């Protein structure tokens, strides 16, 4: 009996279905949240997910207003809210993970701490590299570290305060201390001061105190303490969020450079890190 490739045929009482007519429903992509076909959780626009995420954004803004722009206190309260919400039921934990997977680039199998950390880092525009490489962070931290982000930020703040107290810049017994915890979120001011030298062939060289390379003075930058470093090393200090001069430990409030090219370059780095 000849078989027709377009129809189902019977051969020895066994039905044969042509492969090009088979539709495997099990192979269709289905969302693990809404169970609709054609997308997964990372692209799901279910109203429940969208509305809850909008509420998280609203909460973050309200906590910032409540604490007068203090990110540390706002993060603590926002973090506590999320943990309280998840403590109410397993369903809440699962739902928050769906929201985080959709909007905050996490995985459904991520731990609750990692999920909440990622939500906070994204909502508060905190670069994880800022936390990882901060000079006052002594906790090995990355996106997979199961440590509450609020505890890490508090640790950075306490280490910063301890350093200030030891340096005599902060009196713990003085009630008039005007201390803002936002100080740990580095904010450099980049200044431009053209190097005054009419003869470019005789530009002096300096030895960078960090890398010990000899560099033309107009290709360096200096802090308020007047210590100068090559542009490359200054870039590394900015990227690693250093708040003090490596030589004298004075606070870095501004960075002055000699050319517009370096000025623009450092400004771009600072703005991208904020």
CATH number assigned to the domain comprising residue 229: 3.30.40.10
141 found inside a domain: yes
- Whether 53 and 31 map to the same domain: the answer is no
Q: Is 178 domain-assigned? A: no
Do 54 and 158 lie in one domain? The reply is yes
Whether 191 maps to a domain, the answer reads yes
Pairing of strands 189-192, 254-257: parallel
Q: How far apart are CA 84 and CA 26, in angstroms?
A: 38
Residues 153 and 197 occupy one common structural domain:
no
159 and 245 assigned to the same domain: no
Range of the domain at 210: 186-273
Percent pLDDT > 70 in the chain is: 66
Dihedral (CA of 193, 198, 201, 206) sign? negative
Structure tokens given for 217: 């003075």
CA distance 115 to 39: 22
Give strand pairing partners of 265: none
Residues 193 and 259 in one domain: yes
Residue 158 and residue 51 share a domain: yes
Quick one: 69 and 136 in the same domain?
A: yes
Residue 168 lies in a domain: no
Return the closest-CA partner of residue 2 out of 21, 20, 19, 16.
Answer: 16
**What's the pLDDT at 154?**
73
- Verify that 132 and 219 share a domain, yes or no: no
Please report where in the chains the tokens 């810049």 appear, as a residue: 169
Residue 128 lies in a domain: yes
pLDDT tens figures, 225-247: 888 888 888 888 887 777 778 77
**Residue 177: inside a domain, yes or no?**
no
Q: Do 137 and 223 reside in the same domain of the chain?
A: no
pLDDT digits (tens, 9 = 90+) for 65-109: 998 887 888 888 999 999 999 999 999 999 999 999 999 989 999
The percent of residues above 90 in pLDDT, for the chain, comes to 19
Structure confidence at residue 150 (pLDDT): 79
pLDDT band at 1 (very low <50, low <70, confident <90, very high): very low
Residues 199 and 136 in one domain: no
* Counted domains in the chain: 3
Q: Is residue 206 part of a domain?
A: yes
Residue 131 and residue 75 share a domain: yes
Q: Which two tokens stand for residue 141?
A: 């931290």
132/55 same-domain check: yes
**Is 175 within the bounds of a domain?**
no
pLDDT in tens, 30-77: 888 888 888 889 899 999 999 999 999 999 999 989 988 878 888 889
In the chain, % helix, strand, coil (3-state, to 5) comes to 45, 10, 40
What pLDDT, on a 0 to 100 scale, did the predictor assign at position 26? 46
């Amino acid at each position: 009996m000849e078989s027709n490739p377009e129809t189902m045929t019977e051969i020895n009482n066994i039905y044969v279905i042509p492969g090009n007519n088979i539709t495997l429903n099990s192979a269709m992509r289905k969302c693990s949240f809404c169970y609709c076909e054609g997308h997964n959780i990372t692209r799901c626009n279910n109203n429940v997910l969208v509305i809850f995420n909008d509420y998280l954004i609203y909460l973050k803004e309200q906590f910032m207003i409540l604490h007068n722009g203090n990110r540390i206190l706002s993060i603590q309260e926002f973090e506590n809210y999320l943990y309280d919400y998840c403590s109410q039921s397993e369903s809440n934990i699962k739902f928050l993970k769906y929201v985080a997977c959709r909007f905050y680039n996490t995985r459904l199998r991520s731990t609750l701490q990692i999920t909440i950390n990622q939500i906070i880092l994204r909502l508060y525009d905190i670069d994880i590299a800022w936390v990882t490489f901060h000079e006052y962070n002594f906790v090995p931290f990355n996106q997979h570290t199961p440590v509450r982000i609020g505890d890490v930020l508090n640790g950075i703040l306490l280490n910063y305060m301890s350093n200030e107290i030891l340096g005599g810049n902060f009196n713990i017994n003085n009630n008039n201390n005007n201390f803002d915890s936002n100080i740990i979120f580095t904010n450099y001011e980049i200044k431009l001061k053209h190097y005054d030298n009419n003869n470019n062939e005789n530009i002096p060289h300096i030895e960078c105190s960090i890398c010990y390379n000899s560099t033309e003075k107009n290709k360096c930058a200096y802090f308020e303490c007047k210590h100068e470093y090559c542009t490359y090393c200054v870039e590394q200090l900015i990227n690693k969020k250093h708040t003090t001069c490596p030589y004298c430990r004075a606070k870095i409030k501004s960075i002055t450079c000699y050319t517009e090219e370096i000025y623009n370059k450092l400004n771009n780095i600072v703005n991208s890190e904020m």
